[in-house]
Structure 1
Amino acid sequence: MMVSLFDLKDRVAVVTGGTRGIGKAIAIGLAESGANIALLQRSDNAETKREIEKLGVTCEIFQCDLHDLDRVRNVLPEVLEKLGAVDILVNNAGIQRRHPAVEFPESDWDEVLKVNLKAVWILCQEAGKIMTDQKKGKIINIASLVSYQGGIFVPAYTAAKGAVGQLTKALANEWSSLGVNVNAIVPGYIATEMNTALIDDPVRSRQILERIPAGRWGDPEDFKGAAIYLASAASDYVHGHLLAVDGGWLGR
């Protein structure tokens, strides 16, 4: 049956940045399709956990600050031990720093690249060890429109997200034949906390909205379907793809 292609019952999905925004919506969406959820988060905020548990699946929080790369390297074995599997990894968490390029502090550059790229790479690598051994798995990275475009005042974010797109393709090339799908979702302009500065800027907000063919900013709920697709059997022959969820922005 077609519906079974999207069934995630008894799968274990690891999600970073699931306390709010896109990550929270994705975690809940995967749970709605039957997956048990491991939330990697630096806080003890249990709001997402409570919402997921109401769906009748298991949800566990694993303390993991992505600035702490030693912790990042060692968290997935804990998930495996406690929940019995690591079937899906969603690398969603990220940070943003905005400065003109000539003023961009080196400390901000290093922080953005550490969280948005190096932590993603480490989690992919550690998940890859598990998934290539078991000959199955789904890795979903969250890229960005700046994986294609340059952005303004966000050189570190652009560098990191551009690299995430290429990393996704590189890992897909290596792991596709081993039963592991590595793909990415490319969010457009989404009404989340990360974009508050743009939303609050009347000129930039108007300019952005005028270019989106869908006629609205995106909502975190718009990512459930894309995530379920890339996490499920429906995408078993999809490898190294960057799936834009952008209201048509890139086609404009």
Structure 2
Amino acid sequence: MMNDLPNFSLAGQLALITGATQGLGKAIAYAMAASGAHVIINGRNAIGLTALQHDLQARGYQVDVFAQDITDYASYAHNYNILCKEIGIPSIHVNTVGPRLRKGLIDCQPLEIQEHIQQHLTATLLISRLAALKMKEAQLAGRIISFSSIAGRIVRPEDSIYPIAKQGIEAMVRMLAVEFGAFSITSNGIAPGTFATESNQQLARDPVQGLRVLGRNPMQRWAEPHEITGAAVFLASPAASYVNGHVMVVDGGFSITF
């Protein structure tokens, strides 16, 4: 029947994207805006957020700025509540923040480990819980999309804390799916592979490690940030209404090789 055709439009939705000033978060902000969503771009860099806002508005998109550090939960929650009253409760919440500490566990200092887990996992869990509770309160059919990584299921030397945090994110995805699914709030994840973002430039240019990465990828290239957006828009859309607790791998086949 015509009414049963998949709907990939985000028209009428309010989408908050964390870490939106660069990399995959920025690409998703453009894609969701182009798909009809009113986007709220979040980050710590107010100047970068304003520049992005102006560019999105110049393209005719609806966009607001939420300049807030997600690791300061008390401040985040206070200002998020204000945002919800002034703009509306986001029905789409996207977690893209995830700094990387490329060090082996032996070389990591205890404070580094604590800070990395706080920034990467604890902060994401707290703001996701807050978003889900707001969606539930407003009886929204919500979407929570959290970024894991292929490192959320495989590990390698000299990259220890990031995989631990990402495996925690994947557990969070499933727990949110279980606890909030009955309220029509879905929780899913995206596990990117090797994307040519700002944080990967040094690795991509490394004459040894960079070539090793390319050699393992069946597609023999790094992905561009825009290539993640199809997965994000799909999971946020009505077409994904029965997808819950799933982590979609987008890595060009990297993680299936050995």
TM-score under structure 1 length normalisation: 0.95
CA distance in 2, matches of 1:106, 1:100: 12
- In structure 1, what is the equivalent of residue 10 of structure 2? 8
Structure 2 counterpart of 1:149, one-letter code: I
* 2:124 counterpart of 1:120: yes
Q: CA RMSD in A?
A: 1.6
1:2-151 alignment, distance < 5 Å: 5-44=7-46, 45=48, 46-133=50-137, 134-151=139-156
Give the Å deviation of 1:65.
Answer: 1.2
Length, aligned pairs only: 252
How far the C-alpha of 1:88 sits from its partner, in A, is 0.3
Distance (Å, rounded) in 2 between the aligned partners of 1:59 and 1:151:
39
User: What is the CA-CA distance between 1:4 and the residue it aligns to?
Assistant: 6.7
Is the counterpart of residue 165 in structure 1 residue 170 in structure 2? Answer: yes
Q: Report the Cα distance in structure 2 between the residues aligned to 1:105 and 1:207, rounded to whole angstroms.
A: 28
Provide structure 2 residue ranges, at least 5 long, that are not aligned to the other structure. Answer: none
TM-score (norm 2): 0.93
1:239 aligned partner: 244
1:191 aligns with 2:196: yes
- Cα offset, 1:124, TM superposition: 0.8
Distance 1:173 1:232 in 2: 19
> Does structure 1 retain, via aligned residues, the 8 Å contact 2:70–2:127?
no
Deviation of the 1:148 alpha carbon = 0.4
Distance of 2:214 and 2:208 partners within structure 1: 10
Partner amino acid for 1:22?
L
| Residue aligned with 2:175, SS | helix
> Aligned partners of 1:59 and 1:81: how far apart in 2?
16
Q: Say if 1:28 and 1:97 are closer, same or farther in 2 by CA, change over 3 A.
A: same
238-247 or 46-55: bigger deviation: 46-55
- Identity in percent: 31
Alpha-carbon shift at residue 86 of structure 1 (Å): 1.0
State the Cα distance separating 1:122 from its structure 2 match.
0.8
Question: What secondary structure does 2:249 align onto?
Answer: strand
Distance 1:154 1:75, change over 3 A: farther
CA drift of 1:112 comes to 1.1
Q: In the TM superposition, what is the alpha-carbon distance from 1:175 to its structure 2 partner?
A: 1.2
The residue type paired with residue 102 of structure 2 is R
1:222 alignment partner in structure 2: 227
* 1:202 aligned counterpart, secondary structure: coil
> Cα 1:109–1:21, aligned 2, differ >3 Å: closer, same or farther?
same
* Matched-pair contact (CA < 8 Å) for 2:18–2:95: yes
8 Å Cα contact 1:38/1:79 also seen in 2: no
Structure 1's unaligned 5+ residue stretches are: none
The question of whether the paired residues in 1 share the 8 Å contact of 2:190 and 2:231 is answered with: yes
Amino acid at match of 1:11: Q
Shift of 1:237: 0.4
